[in-house]
Structure 1
């Protein structure tokens, strides 16, 4: 005696006769619209500019990236140098995410 699972599995593996229905439907679909490529450049430039502006706003004058990395490694997360390094890293991550999303 076959179990319900075996019966369902056998039924699911049986080929379906569609009399070229799939081919007719796919042939009736309109061709895909070309994608505008200007938005990719706009998003990359816009997100990079916004992130750079935020990084510049968080960084006081005389802040060095090396000092920020040293502050982060010493668990001093809220120093101006550390915030500038984090903001710069976020800017690069956003730009990378925008680039990766299009691929």
Structure 2
């Protein structure tokens, strides 16, 4: 004896004769428009570059990215250098996620 789930699966896979109606409808539908916009990647990468530059410019003078990485490595998370490195890394990660999600 088949379970209810097996009966439902069998019913879902069963074909219904429609005398070619489905094929005619699918043939008359317009083609799907391409979703890829050529300027979208450039816009995202440009804003990423702008965000990275702003993170570097807003960091206090004399702060280097290497010092920020060293601060992060020694668990000093709220120094100006560490915050500048974190801001740049977050900007790049968000841009990468947006580009990956678009594909």
Task: Classify the TM-score, shorter chain.
Answer: 0.7 to 0.9
Q: TM-score, normalised by structure 1?
A: 0.76
Q: Structure 1 runs of 4+ off > 6 angstroms? A: none
Answering whether residue 48 of structure 2 is matched by residue 65 of structure 1, we say no
Instruction: Quote the residue 1:53 is aligned against.
Output: 54
Instruction: Quote the residue 1:102 is aligned against.
Output: 102
Q: 5+ unaligned residues in a row in structure 1: which ranges? A: none
RMSD: 2.2
- The number of residues matched between the two structures is 102
Q: 5+ unaligned residues in a row in structure 2: which ranges? A: none
Structure 1 residues 1-103: aligned runs within 5 Å: 1-34=1-34, 35-57=36-58, 59-103=59-103
Could you give the per-residue CA deviations for residues 13-65 of structure 1, whole angstroms, max 9, x where no partner exists?
Answer: 322223223222221111233443123312221233134213421x1111122
